[in-house]
Structure 1
């Protein structure tokens, strides 16, 4: 059965009528006449390249399961996120491979999850061991970059990219081998020098994981790791736009420097994302407090304990608090991360084109999600 979705083109204001058949966009018609005043904007489904958990379900740890990962898929779809990348954090090799196997099993068991998850991301364990850049990653499991271990992960589940700090001895050679083996490399959680970051990019690193976070709170004016990554056109940079990890003016400047084609928004959400405000106990951070604004912090402090909003919240924050238009913000939440997915071996996402998967979201002018179509079917 064909499904037709109408909405405004966020760039031109034209009325778009998208016809979906068998889960694929079969036709796109454009009408340049005056649109109804209440017609929402129409965009591809949102693409989040970094999700650790959502709605009380964690991708990590012994509780990770195919059923939980499928549940995240369906909950995120209701929030407008139709493509997401499970993020496995620093742990033992056994625990990392366990999580990757759960992702593989979830994709095998549920067609909607298989379509929504192109691959997984392992953030760590090859990160900075230093307080600050390490963030909340388990210091006892931090270890040097090891391409052979990454190859073993790949045998366990669909691995798209791994985040590393390139300060380790032999980092560049290990990164080059990881890339040759078909896994992309992102720079993140690092105290690496400018020369070490450049060597990592020369070796094949193509991404920056949540630039501006996972780094010392105080840096030299110049050079420093943020400038180095912003300046290198070979890196596409993820930004946590929850309003807590990076101030609005920092996001503004970073996007102006790199452009919307080199920056993508991520939620970096943890399992408490989507939960009611309150105090919780977590396996990683102990007692944490989730505010009504989505700020997750350690009880009694201003220190962040993770990110606790979905990507739709990030879109709304960017529209409200920066100079970027809805169309520009959506580029960073659909087209650019969709391009990354394709570059890392997944099917093309994040654009409205005939023949592509029919993942659509309609939004208000402020970026609020009105309704969602995933795989040609309305999400309820």
Structure 2
């Protein structure tokens, strides 16, 4: 971390730990509890102490501890637009503190469709802020590039600027990667655009995950994309027109392919609850990831009003939906990860171990590759939860040497 960054005082809401912290942490994959010691310096030592029959330890009030949640698609948060440019390290820290208060300890900021020059500049400026910030090097596990290799057709393009969409272009990916200190971990692409299949092969060969999104691909194109190395579906059920053929459509083809893991936005707005339940049954717990697709309008302390998403103005309504004013298409979400956890518990009765799988362990699989494992701190966070009448809420999060509460 640069020397001048070290000299800054911590932002409000974050403090350095002065003594070790001992916590029993839920590990959903092994259905065990892990005793974690968090040192003042941020080190983590873990030892399994529970049998497979006991999922995790709770406090006298039902409180519990989990490893930090991981969000693979965050466009902005807490009033900060990651796609706007000119981000300072201090302002980024404030947004990351707000994210940590929702249980997120690792994320992939998403850079959306724009001109090539704008995308390169925005990502470079964001990455500079990450490197100079306190929490950025610990929480930012890499980047998600969503566009410009998407369908420009109305409905499929969603809130992305179709004027800047293009054929697959590896030179742009190389330019984006050349300007950042940490890896591009995920690229969303429409398999039907020119050159997409070859790009998928190259990216997969580099260890970069590729997702289908904002796509009007047919069954054969989707299958060819998966054969070439696509592993994920970006916000499945969205980035589509309101009207589709009842069965012959990209949603069913992606749900049917067991090689694909689907990302869903569980806010009750992007996908109606009965439809989401059906999609979850199709993919199962092992092939499902929950993500927010959050924009600058998301956060504990944000509310209805006008915000930005890149060059576009967006509006958050009273019920929480976010759209470009005058458009019927959604422009990201205002939901938080902890709210999605409560939603899934209330709607479908999912347990905390299952939700940790969907919100931590499944996404972790896609960002910790042998070619580029990323910064260790980005996936080692720990979150303490308090049980309330409305469901679990975050009490505090431990990230590296810092505690956020």
> Under a length normalisation based on structure 1, what TM-score does the superposition of the two structures give?
0.88
**Contact in 1 for aligned 2:62/2:386 (Cα 8 Å):** no
| Runs of at least 5 residues in structure 1 that lack an aligned partner in the other structure | none
| Partner of residue 304, structure 2 | 278
Identify the match of residue 131 of structure 1 among 128, 143, 154.
154
CA RMSD of aligned residues (A): 2.9
Question: Is 2:108 the partner of 1:85?
Answer: yes
Report the CA distance between 1:228 and its aligned residue: 1.6
| Partner of residue 27, structure 1 | 46
| Partner of residue 264, structure 2 | 239
Identify the match of residue 337 of structure 2 among 304, 311, 328.
311
Question: 1:242-261 maps to which residues of 2 (within 5 A)?
Answer: 242-261=267-286
**Contact in 1 for aligned 2:65/2:382 (Cα 8 Å):** no
Report the CA distance between 1:334 and its aligned residue: 1.0
Q: Distance in 1 between matches of 2:29 and 2:168?
A: 43
Q: Distance in 1 between matches of 2:215 and 2:31?
A: 42
Q: Distance in 1 between matches of 2:131 and 2:222?
A: 37
Q: Distance in 2 between matches of 1:290 and 1:23?
A: 40
Report the CA distance between 1:234 and its aligned residue: 2.2
The Cα offsets for residues 48-100 of structure 1, whole Å up to 9 and x where unpaired, read as: 11000001101102344444433322221122110011100001111111122
* Structure 1 residues 169 and 370, CA gap change in structure 2 (3 angstroms): same
Secondary structure of 2:38's match?
strand
| Runs of at least 5 residues in structure 2 that lack an aligned partner in the other structure | 1-18
**Contact in 2 for aligned 1:46/1:334 (Cα 8 Å):** yes
Identify the match of residue 364 of structure 1 among 387, 392, 396.
387
Question: Is 2:132 the partner of 1:113?
Answer: no
| Partner of residue 3, structure 1 | 21
Question: Is 2:354 the partner of 1:328?
Answer: yes
Report the CA distance between 1:139 and its aligned residue: 1.6
> Under a length normalisation based on structure 2, what TM-score does the superposition of the two structures give?
0.83
Q: Distance in 2 between matches of 1:177 and 1:13?
A: 37
The Cα offsets for residues 215-253 of structure 1, whole Å up to 9 and x where unpaired, read as: 122222333211221222222211111221111222212
Report the CA distance between 1:302 and its aligned residue: 6.4
Question: 1:96-107 maps to which residues of 2 (within 5 A)?
Answer: 96-107=119-130
Identify the match of residue 210 of structure 1 among 209, 231, 235.
235
The Cα offsets for residues 18-74 of structure 1, whole Å up to 9 and x where unpaired, read as: 322242331344496996531412211111110000011011023444444333222
Number of residue pairs the alignment of both structures matches: 375
The Cα offsets for residues 174-226 of structure 1, whole Å up to 9 and x where unpaired, read as: 22123334432111001111111111111111111111100122222333211
Question: Is 2:309 the partner of 1:290?
Answer: no
Q: Distance in 2 between matches of 1:124 and 1:374?
A: 30
